[in-house]
Amino acid sequence: MKLTLVRWIIFNIFLFAFGIGLGAAHYPVDFDGLRCPAYEGNTLAECFQFGAFLGTISGLVIGIGQGVFLRKQLSWSRNQILAWVAATTAAFALGHAIGDSGPVPQALPWSALGLGLVSGLILGILQWLALRGKIENASRWVWSSTIGFGIGLGVVGIAAAVLLDANRNSIFHWHTLFDLLLFIALDGLFVGGIWAALTGRVLFTRQAQ
């Protein structure tokens, strides 16, 4: 069981880095790349839609990856995996939409912590709907996801402020491609790693018999 938990953590570190990276690349950058409509004078609805689109991409990548892992480790059926992928995709789409339609966090790391708590709560609730009846105490998934995502993104906020630019007022502004890649790596290591460590204990130590 411990080995499975370790695999789950390592797997999600890489999965979150790749999945979140696909969505993170759209924030304002100083090199050529996609730009978030929120910084080009577009409407709130346009920002929401743009975030939902990119969140859907991230959610699909993470949901499918986790689904493949869970099908192998917990012998879930195809329908169970499809429900999981749908829940994960919807959660990331909504989380991105909310983030893109609001102001970019200006105070580190508290704004990052707050955004992480909201995102983790959304992800936890929707994935919990797919987990009910499949593992013991599935309701614990909600707070595990909320705390894990919140702490993870809060740590990323601190690390980004220190490693990228202590005087920068947002963790979502890149000056170079290296900045963006570093942020993606931090996301995978801390958000994916901490989130997986907490949720993995629910998945792999309290399975329904």
Contacts of 43 (CB under 8 A, 6+ apart): none
Q: What pLDDT score does 176 carry? A: 66
Q: What pLDDT score does 35 carry? A: 47
User: What integer best gives the mean pLDDT of the chain?
Assistant: 80
**Nearest of 125, 128, 129, 190 to residue 160 by alpha carbon:** 190
**Nearest of 155, 126, 124, 157 to residue 141 by alpha carbon:** 124
The model's pLDDT over 99-141, given as tens digits with 9 standing for 90+, comes to 777 655 445 566 778 888 999 999 999 999 998 887 778 889 9
Domain coordinates in residue numbering, the chain: 2-205
Q: Print burial letters for 8-38: b (CB count within 10 Å at least 16), e (below 16).
A: bbebbbebbbbbbbbbbbbbbbeeeeeebbb
Phi, psi (deg, nearest 5) at residue 172 = -105, 20
- Read off the pLDDT band of 62 (50, 70, 90): very high
Q: What pLDDT score does 166 carry? A: 46
In which residue are the tokens 């992928």 written? 85
Q: What pLDDT score does 31 carry? A: 36
Instruction: Answer whether 96's CB lies under 8 Å from 54's CB.
Output: yes
**Nearest of 121, 181, 166 to residue 145 by alpha carbon:** 121
In which residue are the tokens 């204990």 written? 201
Q: What pLDDT score does 160 carry? A: 73
Q: Is the pLDDT of residue 69 over 80?
A: yes
